[in-house]
């Protein structure tokens, strides 16, 4: 259980944990590359950005002072970006905790045993009140509803979380879910097409396309399509792919054959339905004794909104591109998605009412810049509101009137792990 503590002491403890991560930065990044396949540079960035986040929870202190803890918490850490999720999930949960609370951490020990051992030791040395659950994911889900945990944070794909609603409706536990995306990127008629294409490509291949903030579906005005395609093909040609341990590699491996097979199936179905493909070579490579799949960047163009590749999540460096002319039709196609995390627009639409509606359709909106640019500019890590609609993010919670509801919209995680104290006398 959390020992006698103050907000300031918890902030110092998180800072000490950050120092432990920094001390092992190179080792942690290299280990993750060997297990996951994402490039060394991307994993070095993940460790560094996570440490920055943990070092700067002073920024969230004003958010927690008028609030109190919701009690015991549990966090399910994903396999593909475990350190980032640890910083952005455990960090606010720890800040929002009080004396007597505990946090149960489900780390992907079955897939990342060495990292799990390091985290156990480092967390034991720097934080307190953290318990580790060593079973698999199914065992964790079976166990947690029968505990005194009040708040659970889950990461992953909505397809395995949505069926759990009856379990948590019965237990009454609050569930915070952060999931996948199919982020749209629009290149308007008046956009700087070279800058837009460079940004679009960078947003697609970061983390080898295996990140929820990657742009996946691209809507290009018909007058820009030729130049956009040529620029993307040039960028693809100059991209070094393959060995994720090589610092020059920009697109590494995917350690999930299931994910790669699903992507290849999406591409094949798109071709059958009339799309064309540039790039997308696929082969295996031995990475530190493991056979991993390399999927090189692909541009699938001449797509339409009914294609699976334009609707469903694609966990790899694949750009699904659709040409547009009519902005009303563009609006329908953009919002015709189960997801609602990030929308990017380069240039301006001629119909400003449609543009304003699009700005409100997703959790994050970027205009002539991008989420990747935003992340790279954060000197203090991530201390922003989390936003997401559709199947990208939600919270299940039992309200005061007894109803169990699903809510969405912008909120800080530290607030999701806490509750507002009543104002005396009002």
- For the chain (426 residues), the mean pLDDT of every run of 10, in chain order, is 82 97 97 95 97 96 93 95 95 95 95 93 96 94 97 94 96 96 97 98 96 95 98 98 96 92 97 98 90 96 96 95 98 93 97 97 96 93 93 93 91 94 50
Question: What pLDDT does residue 256 have?
Answer: 87
Q: How many CA atoms lie within 13 A of 122 on its CB side?
A: 21
For 114-124, letters b (16+ CB in 10 Å) and e give ebbebbbebbe
**Alpha carbon of 87 to those of 231, 324, 351, 418: distances in Å?**
36, 40, 41, 17
**What ranges make up the beta strands (E) of 84-189?**
103-106, 130-133, 151-155, 174-178, 183-187
Burial grade of 244 (CB within 10 A; 0-12, 13-18, 19 or more): buried
Question: What pLDDT does residue 426 have?
Answer: 37
**3-class DSSP assignment, residue 218:** strand
User: Does domain 7-179+392-420 match CATH 3.40.605.10?
Assistant: yes
Q: Are 89 and 49 contacting, i.e. CB atoms less than 8 angstroms apart?
A: no
Give start-end residues of each CATH 3.40.309.10 domain in the chain. Answer: 183-377
Question: What pLDDT does residue 4 have?
Answer: 66
* Residue (of 389, 366, 416, 75) closest to 200 by Cα position: 366
* Residue (of 148, 120, 110, 102) closest to 5 by Cα position: 102
Give start-end residues of each CATH 3.40.605.10 domain in the chain. Answer: 7-179+392-420
Question: What pLDDT does residue 425 have?
Answer: 42
Residue 1's H or E segment, with its range, is: none
- Phi, psi of 87, deg, nearest 5: -70, -45
As a CATH number, domain 183-377 is 3.40.309.10
* Residue (of 131, 125, 126, 168) closest to 150 by Cα position: 168
* Residue (of 221, 247, 223) closest to 33 by Cα position: 247
**3-class DSSP assignment, residue 278:** strand
Question: What pLDDT does residue 422 have?
Answer: 58
Give the β-pairing of 318-324 and 298-301.
Answer: parallel
- Model-level pTM? 0.94
């Amino acid at each position: 259980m959390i020992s006698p503590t103050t907000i300031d002491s918890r902030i110092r403890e998180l800072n000490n944990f950050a120092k432990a991560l920094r001390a092992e930065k190179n080792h942690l990044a290299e280990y993750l590359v060997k297990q996951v396949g994402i490039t060394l540079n991307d994993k070095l960035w993940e460790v560094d950005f996570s440490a920055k986040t943990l070092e700067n929870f002073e920024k969230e202190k004003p958010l927690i002072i008028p609030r109190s803890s919701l009690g015991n918490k549990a966090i399910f850490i994903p396999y593909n970006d475990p350190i980032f999720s640890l910083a952005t999930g455990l960090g606010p949960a720890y800040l929002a905790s009080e004396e007597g609370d505990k946090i149960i951490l489900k780390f992907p020990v079955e897939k990342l045993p060495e990292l799990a051992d390091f985290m156990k030791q480092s967390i034991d040395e720097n934080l307190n009140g953290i318990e580790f659950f060593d079973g698999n994911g199914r065992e964790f889900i079976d166990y947690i509803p029968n505990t005194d945990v009040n708040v659970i944070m889950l990461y992953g794909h909505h397809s395995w979380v949505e069926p759990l609603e009856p379990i948590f409706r019965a237990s009454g536990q609050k569930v915070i879910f952060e999931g996948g995306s199919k982020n749209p990127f629009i290149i308007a008629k008046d956009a700087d097409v070279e800058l837009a294409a460079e940004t679009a490509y960078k947003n697609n291949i970061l983390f080898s396309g295996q990140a929820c903030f990657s742009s996946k579906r691209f809507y290009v005005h018909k007058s820009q399509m030729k130049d956009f395609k040529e620029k993307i093909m040039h960028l693809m040609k100059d991209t070094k792919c393959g060995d994720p341990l090589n610092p020059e590699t920009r697109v590494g491996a995917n350690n999930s054959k299931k994910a790669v097979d699903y992507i290849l199936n999406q591409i094949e179905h798109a071709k059958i339905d009339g799309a064309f493909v540039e790039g997308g070579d696929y082969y295996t490579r031995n990475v530190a004794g493991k056979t991993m799949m390399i999927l090189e960047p692909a541009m699938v163009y001449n797509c339409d909104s009914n294609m699976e590749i334009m609707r469903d999540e694609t966990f790899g460096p694949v750009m699904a591109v659709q040409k547009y002319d009519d902005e009303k039709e563009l609006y329908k196609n953009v919002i015709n998605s189960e997801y609602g995390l990030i929308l990017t627009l380069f240039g301006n639409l001629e119909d400003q009412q449609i543009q304003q509606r699009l700005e409100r359709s997703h959790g994050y909106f970027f205009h002539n810049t991008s989420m990747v640019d935003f992340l790279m500019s954060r000197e203090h890590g991530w201390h922003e509101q989390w936003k997401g609609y559709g199947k990208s993010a939600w919270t299940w919670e039992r309200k005061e009137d007894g109803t169990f509801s699903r809510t969405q919209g912008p909120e800080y995680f530290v607030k999701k792990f806490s509750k507002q104290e009543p104002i005396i006398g009002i």
